[in-house]
A and B are shown apart, each in its own frame.
Chain A
Amino acid sequence: MENKILEIKNFYAGFGKKWILRNINLAIYKNKVTAVMGPSGCGKTTLVRCINRLHEISPQAVYKGDILLDEKSIFSVQPVKLRRKVGMVFQRPNPFPAMNIYDNVISGYILNGIKLSRREKDRIVEESLKRAYLWKEVKNELFKKGTFLSGGQQQRLCIARALAVEPEILLMDEPASALDPTATLKIEELIQGLKKKYTIIIVTHNMQQAARISDYTAFLMLGELVEYDETNRMFTRPSKKVTEDYITGRFG
């Protein structure tokens, strides 16, 4: 089979005394797009936020079990280091409002105090914006504030920002949910291009989207992993009745 990059083992996560995720076992393969889908509130966001250890910044957050990145527990490395390997794009675009487009793209370096030469900066900005399909639209206004862009452009700016630091894994939490169909299509297209270089885990509500862009699909319900398989197989021959019901739109 393929190369495992990430392995989630007997993993539980929740808030206070309540487990939101229960006994998740899942392997993520390198250079593939893995979709996480399921009804609202089933814990998709919680799951991806565990993978870069953002979950634990919420007060009351709890977890048990393990997640291995390249066969090493993510809980044995400092969160700060882990997050440079595991990038994230959020549901709502959140560019840094005090920075211009150029600085937003290289904010991972600026904020971490990593010095780059002017040429390196220029190269990283151009490359990242090209990979995020945003270069053509903004190349003449790189020094304007990022918040003047449209919502879809802002989201692609956030993708460029995440790519600029060269993560191994890119987590995307419903990156297109706040966008119109055209902008959504752009993002989907871009994800296809990205998987040559990155491993992508994408949360989506939208089953057509999961079917279109992903290689593997995980189906979560009420905090449990119901089914996990290659996307093709899952959408044509689901092994569980609930999955079939969900996919065919009988609920959710």
Chain B
Amino acid sequence: MGKITFRIYKDRAFKIAVCTLSMLSLIPLFLIIIQVILKGASAINWHFFTHLPLPPGEPGGGILNALLGTFMLIIIAVILSLPLGVLTGILLSEIDNKFTASLRILVNLLQGIPSIVIGILAYIWIVVPLRHFSAFSGGVALGLMMLPMIIKSVEETMKLIPLSLKEASFALGVNYTRTILKVILPAAAGGMASGIIIGISRIAGETAPLLFTAFGNPFLNLNPLKPVDSLPLLIFNYAMSPYAGWQRIAWGASLVLVGFVFLLNVVVKTLAERWKIKF
């Protein structure tokens, strides 16, 4: 009897320890969010989203340039990495040989390369030959960062699709290409979309690879061959300035960025619920 009581207590103690420790790990997270909200909320209003930053000393000013720049960079990155990533992911999930094994290692390597190095590569490959900083070069850098994430999420989602589905399609006389495109890909679409959105939420906050590619731009620019601003670049530049007004804008931009990433994660959750496919 005594032994069992002891076990029950031990069990309870363990549960309490686990709960406390996980609470502890949440504290910094809460502190960050509270800090960002406290400092950033006061900067945010309609004006903040629709206007360009102002010179130091002038009150007000917004982040329109950085918002549009970030969207542009994300769009360029997705356009470049999505087709390549999906095709490579399909290849890796479908074919097992020495070539795909080495490809997989390369993809892992690419994922491990520090983002600043990717930025330098984009600088050498694109900025130097074109002779100026540009949204395009920034998009390439971010696309390179997204590529391995997309490849992996596609590969893993495709591998989860049961073989029986492919056989069902073959048994109806459907050829290989159509089976992949019309049976396996649609069945994997939900998982792949989640992977891509999570990839976007990761690159949205990247700063280092943009320092010498997209470069930053206090003015509105929609030309992909000219420099653009982005939220993290704007935060980086304005937070380091000595002007209180600019620092306030940096906090506001931080809140917007955190909110955007949070929103993407909510979207992924709902997508996963809605597109959940039973096999």
Identify the A interface with B (CB < 8 A): 52, 54, 57, 79-84, 87-88, 90, 92, 94-98, 107-108, 110-113, 145, 147-148, 158, 161-162, 165
Contact = CB atoms under 8 A, between A and B. Distances in A.
A96 B178 contact: no
Contacts, number: 77
B172 A147 contact: no
Contacts of A110: 182
A96 B279 CA distance: 8
B173 to A, nearest CB: 4
Interface string B5-41: 0000000000000000000000000000000000000
A75 B165 CA distance: 24
Interface of B: 162, 164-165, 167-175, 178-179, 182-183, 186-187, 189, 277-279
Given A92-B164, A112-B178, A97 B279 contact: yes
Given A97-B187, A98-B186, A98-B187, A54 B170 contact: yes
Nearest to B278: A147
Contacts of A54: 167, 170-171
A148 to B, nearest CB: 8
B165 to A, nearest CB: 6
A200 to B, nearest CB: 15
B167 A94 contact: yes
B174 to A, nearest CB: 4
Contact of A94 (B168, B173, B182): B168
A97 B172 contact: no
Contacts of A98: 183, 186-187, 189, 277
User: A83, A84, A98 — which one has the most chain B CB atoms within 10 A of its CB?
Assistant: A98
Contact of A107 (B162, B172, B278): B172
- Helix, strand, loop or mixed for chain B's interface? helix
Contacts of B168: 90, 94-96, 158
A74 B125 CA distance: 54
A143 B179 CA distance: 22
B278 A165 contact: no
A84 B277 contact: no
Contacts of B165: 94, 96-97
Contacts of B171: 52, 54, 83, 87-88, 90, 162
A57 B183 contact: no
Given A94-B167, A111-B182, A80 B173 contact: yes
Given A108-B172, A112-B173, 7 more contacts: A83-B170, A83-B171, A96-B169, A97-B187, A97-B278, A147-B279, A165-B172
Contact of A165 (B162, B173, B186, B189): B173
A54 B278 CA distance: 24
B178 A111 contact: yes
A106 to B, nearest CB: 10
A47 to B, nearest CB: 15
Contacts of B170: 54, 57, 79, 83
A131 B202 CA distance: 52
A168 B172 CA distance: 13
A110 B167 CA distance: 16
A161 B168 CA distance: 10
A94 B171 CA distance: 11
Given A80-B175, A147-B278, A96 B187 contact: yes
Contacts of B189: 98
A97 B279 CA distance: 6
B258 to A, nearest CB: 35
A83 B167 contact: no
